[in-house]
Amino acid sequence: MRVSTVEEMRGCDRRATEVYGLSEEILMENAGQALYEVLKSEFGLVGRRFVVLCGGGNNGGDGLVVARKLHSRECDVRVCLLVDEDSLQGAPRRNLEAAMRAGIPVQRIRSADELGLGRPCDVVVDALFGTGLSRCPEGLFADVIEALNASSLSVVAADIPSGVSGDTGATPGVAVRATCTVTFGLPKRGNLLPPGRELGGKLFVSHICFPPALYASVGGVVTNRLTPLPPRPMECHKRDFGDVLFLAGSRTYLGAPLFAVRSFLRTGGGYARLAAPASVLAVLGAHASEAVMVPLRETDSGSAALSNLDELCAVAESVDLLVVGPGVSLDVETQELVRSLVSRTSTPVLIDGDGITAVAAQRGLLRERAGVSLLTPHTGEMARLLDTTVDEVRRDRVDAVQRAARDFGAVVLLKGASTLVCGPDGPVSLNLSGNPGMATAGCGDVLSGAIAALHGMGLELRVAAEVGAFIHGMAGDLAARHVGQDGLTATDVMEHMPAAVRGYREGFRELQDNHYGCLNVI
């Protein structure tokens, strides 16, 4: 599904009126109806007492519509208006007048103490700001949001929880924590990027009768760009599913190469070669006996020495993919080995972990190489790539991944909640699978191995990154169902990779159609 910016959705609103003749009143009525349907299905109407918090603008108008619809079903509903009546214009003003004529209690509140949220059956509709917020909530609005969050009441947000940026998901100040969110037209980036995704609760999407042609201009971000996996033919050989060289591991990092190589095999990869310092290969081989070991000369610190370059280049030119970085260490000589190997080979390369630190120091390296490159940074590594701060990356993850892809001429996968994948051209793909339990050491190495396996099956490297992120998240979700999110380990995720791949193959169409259950289209 396409994911819009705030400005893109405003453009859709304008064209809906100017080109298709859909008035502001019609769109507002449909938005209010969508809110009403979610209130009815998720909470029921009988015995419920509803409070609708309305600000100015169209978001407040949506709230006034749903108040009127609840009232028409003889529900106990009241409106708390946080702006003066005279400030409402157009359709919001007309809906305010209709609500008051219907006898709905409308109270202009000037203090959070006037909300009266203490009654036991309240469900609150947040129609304060929507996506129109461009600054921190202040004064009365901030006080009301804090009181609402402190009340522990069920909250349904109109379009996006108030206080959340519609473009980035960031919360520059206080923000509503919603039970459900009903977003209109298309999901906004802020609905799906952290922390907005978590604050929104269960997400519903209502197209409010927008013609599908309206969405043609929205294409910067899409959710779960999924591709079917190629079949495994009866007549096949191990190299038909990928011949991959892993340059990984050092004396102090033994887990990373194991997770990467074993995940490659558990995801369906065929032939793995592990290049690592000779002194640690016996230990690594005992836990990854299916891999072919490539012993390397090592530095005094126990990491791969630069003198291995020619031999590694020869092997790299004979394989389908080179995976560089998991656990290779920050040894100065090893960092130079990574840069030299990547620049001298034309083989597609996946660069992770310490390998990202190596290429970050030489920004033109990837743009100049002949082969396709994939970078898989977490937030801290992305900050190093862009020579910025972690906070700056988190402030706008979409912009960060687009900048990195453009600057390095590479496919970039930014790990984290709502993993993003972006190439030098094309849309940003936003992944919806996975859970917070996967924020644990080694999970990134498991992802690298999974992507390598999917590339080995025949997917282009960018597509392998998109599908790999999704299946990796599926495996984490399967593991969490068995052991819970607390205490989830990379081993748990890796051991569920075969089941995730099978589930993906068998349920591909359903996974694609229902958006992995994360977007509920109404």
Are 191 and 244 part of one and the same domain?
no
Report the pLDDT averaged over residues 391-399. 94
Phi, psi values for residue 41, rounded to 5°: -75, -35
Whether 106 is in a domain gets the answer: yes
Of the pLDDT bands very low, low, confident and very high (cuts 50, 70, 90), residue 240 is: confident
Residue 481 in any domain: the answer is: yes
What is the pLDDT at residue 330? 96
Query: How much is the pLDDT for 238?
Result: 80
Q: What is the DSSP string of 20-86?
A: T---HHHHHHHHHHHHHHHHHHHH-STT-EEEEEE-SHHHHHHHHHHHHHHHHTT-EEEEEE-S-GG
Q: What is the pLDDT of residue 426?
A: 76
Buried b (16+ CB within 10 A) or exposed e, 84-110: eeeebeebbbbbbeebeeeebebeebe
In sequence order, the 6+-apart residues with CB closer than 8 A to the CB of 108 are 81, 84, 85
Residue 121, pLDDT > 80, answer no
| pLDDT tier, 104 (very low <50, low <70, confident <90, very high otherwise) | very high
Task: Tell me: do 133 and 242 sit in the same domain.
Answer: no
What's the pLDDT score for residue 47?
A: 85
User: CA-CA distance, 180 to 158, in Å (whole number)?
Assistant: 9
Q: SS3 letters for 178-244? A: CCEEEEECCCEHHHHCCCHHHHCCEEEEECCCCCHHHHHHCCCEEECCCCCCCCCCCCCCHHHHCEE
CA–CA separation, 497 and 452 (whole Å): 13
Domain membership of residue 315 as a residue range: 238-509
Higher pLDDT: 401 or 363? It is 401
Task: Evaluate whether 385 touches 366 at the Cβ level (below 8 Å).
Answer: no
Whether 187 and 277 map to the same domain: the answer is no
- Do 113 and 53 fall into the same domain? yes
Average pLDDT over every residue of 443-448: 97
Mean pLDDT of the region 180-186: 96
For residue 173, the model assigns a pLDDT of 92
Is 329 found in the same domain as 460? yes
Residue 222 domain flag: no
pLDDT surpasses 80 at 469 = yes
CA separation for the pair 103, 89 (Å, rounded): 20
Residues 321 and 393 in one domain: yes
pLDDT at 45: 92
pLDDT at 405: 95
- The total of structural domains in the chain comes to 2
Q: Is the pLDDT of residue 249 over 80?
A: yes
Residue 522 falls within a domain, yes or no?
Answer: no
- Whether 174 maps to a domain, the answer reads yes
Structure confidence at residue 355 as a pLDDT band (50, 70, 90): very high
Same structural domain for residues 37 and 67?
yes
Q: How confident is the model at residue 282 (pLDDT cuts 50, 70, 90)?
A: confident
Give the pLDDT band (50/70/90) at residue 513.
Answer: confident
Residues 153, 250 share a domain: no
Q: In sequence order, what E strands does 112-163 have?
A: 122-127, 154-158
Q: How many CA atoms lie within 13 A of 461 on its CB side?
A: 23
Q: Say if 232 falls within a structural domain.
A: no
Taking the C-alpha atoms of 439, 443, 447 and 452 in order, what is their torsion angle to the nearest 10 degrees? 160
Look at residue 517 in the predicted model and tell me its pLDDT: 85
| CB-based contact 438:475 (threshold 8 Å) | no
What pLDDT is attached to residue 315? 96
Residue 393 maps to which CATH number? 3.40.1190.20
pLDDT band at 509 (very low <50, low <70, confident <90, very high): confident
DSSP string covering 460-472, please? -HHHHHHHHHHHH
- Is 464 found in the same domain as 418? yes
Contact 308, 344 (CB under 8 A): no
Q: Are residues 199 and 245 in the same domain?
A: no
* pLDDT of 479: 97
Residue 363 pLDDT more than 90? Answer: no
Q: Pick from 216, 248, 267: which residue ends a domain? A: 216
Mean pLDDT of the chain: 94
Residues 207 and 251 placed together within one structural domain of the fold: no
Is residue 462 in some structural domain? yes
Q: Tell me the pLDDT band of 364, cut-offs 50, 70 and 90.
A: confident
Q: What is the pLDDT of residues 286-306, one digit of tens each?
A: 888 899 999 999 999 999 999
Residue 50 lies in a domain: yes
Residues 319, 177, single domain; the answer is no
Strand pairing partners for 203? 181, 519
pLDDT tens-digit series, residues 127-178: 999 887 778 899 999 999 999 999 989 999 999 999 999 999 999 899 999 9
CB-facing half-sphere around the CA of 366: CA atoms within 13 A:
28
pTM above 0.85, yes or no: yes
CATH number (domain holding residue 133): 3.40.50.10260
